[in-house]
Amino acid sequence: MSAGRAPQTDLPGYADGDRHGWLDTLCGRLERIAVGKDAEQLLQDPAAPGSRRGLVTLPMWAWVPAGHRAGRKGRALHGGTLMLPVRIVWDETALTRVVSGEPTAVGWKGQGQGRTLRGSTVLTASARLRDPSDTLQAGVPEVLNGRPVGARLLRKQLTDLVEDGRAAWWEVVMDLEPWVDRSLRRAVSQMSNEFRSATGSTDPDAVPNGHIVTLSETSLETISTRLLLGSKERAGTVERLINACLRQNFSNVDPLKFIRVWLSRDALEAVRAGVDDPKVGAKVRRVMEASGATTYKDLIEAYNAIYPKDQLGIGRAERSILVGTDPMATVVNIDDLEVDQDHGRDHDPVLLAAQPPEEAQDLRSITDRAA
């Protein structure tokens, strides 16, 4: 998805009855990743000699009309309703080998978008291929067939699926790169507002008023790369996000919201670390604003009365109030950032169409389910 603006008339997947354009692409790539991972496992478990088998890919998603709780992301650009995904959970893995002449019935279920889906699909390996769209239950085929092949061709097919899954992985990473950038800039804006609210009401001679949080473009790029690609010590947030999406059943949250909340949380943590903000920094600033403390002594006393276990001292109190300095940064007005001040509305029309209304929800209430 492009990070820049795009004319609404040129956006595919946003007309009445269409699958949500961006989610359709994302869900397709997640399915390819899951299939590739299963193919890698099957390559380690060779099929029994003498039997011809077919590979059957089990769809990860059913698509249903958006309900009223979906918000703007469920509305077509020019009126009408978009189709949104429901994660299908199978009794088998995403990629299954089926022995020729031995059809197998596999159960599945899905819950999301205010719906509960359930059914069974017959997996076959027959030379007479059947169009799976002939018979559907809530968008899931009643019969799925894989053309039976010998061991050598089967291995070739599995190898191709592994490579395709890896390609899909990088497609998701590149697609999320502008999201990471926007999340970081939004986090800078959020922290700037925190400092401005907390320190603006104090006596600058008693508690020095920190400048607005700033990070240089070089620092933002470094943090963005670390979130995207990780390091030798730890996987990047995008890698962990993709793995979490593969595990999630999305019964309580759709993939789009899940991704936005995850990236917002990790971007804010990264920016806090980038300006040397202590873990208690946000709480210290809230107490400072609420208490009206005008000296560090008053601030520490007010804080420790509420959070005695934190044992706040002068060191962390100062670091919470004085913004860390990035030597390559220039002080900027947060109103000049390319992020709206409500921390949840991009100028990208794709995101505008997709943006859920409940952005104030606690970040960890969703992402903790992926742990």
Token couple for 339:
């992020």
Mean pLDDT of 227-244: 91
State the pLDDT at residue 192.
80
Q: Residue ranges per domain, the chain?
A: 164-370
Confidence of residue 199 (pLDDT cuts 50, 70, 90): low
Confidence of residue 342 (pLDDT cuts 50, 70, 90): very low
149-189 tens-digit pLDDT: 998 999 999 999 999 999 999 999 999 999 999 999 999 88
* Residue 242, Ramachandran bin (φ over 0: left; ψ between -120 and 50: alpha; else beta): alpha
State the pLDDT at residue 195.
76
Q: Is the pLDDT of residue 237 over 60?
A: yes
Q: Is the pLDDT of residue 308 over 80?
A: yes
State the pLDDT at residue 13.
77
CB environment 39-59: b (16+ within 10 A), e (fewer): bbebeeeebeeebbbbbbbbb
What's the chain's average pLDDT? 79
Q: Is the pLDDT of residue 306 over 50?
A: yes
DSSP 34-57: HHHHHHHHHHTSPPPTT--EEEEE
Least confident of 81-95, 102-116, 125-139, 263-277: 125-139
Q: Is the pLDDT of residue 346 over 80?
A: no
Q: Which residues are paired to 90 by β-bridges?
A: 108
What gap in Å lies between CA 136 and CA 218, rounded to an integer?
A: 51
State the pLDDT at residue 131.
56
19-59 tens-digit pLDDT: 999 999 999 999 999 999 999 999 998 766 667 899 999 99
Confidence of residue 263 (pLDDT cuts 50, 70, 90): very high
State the pLDDT at residue 49.
63
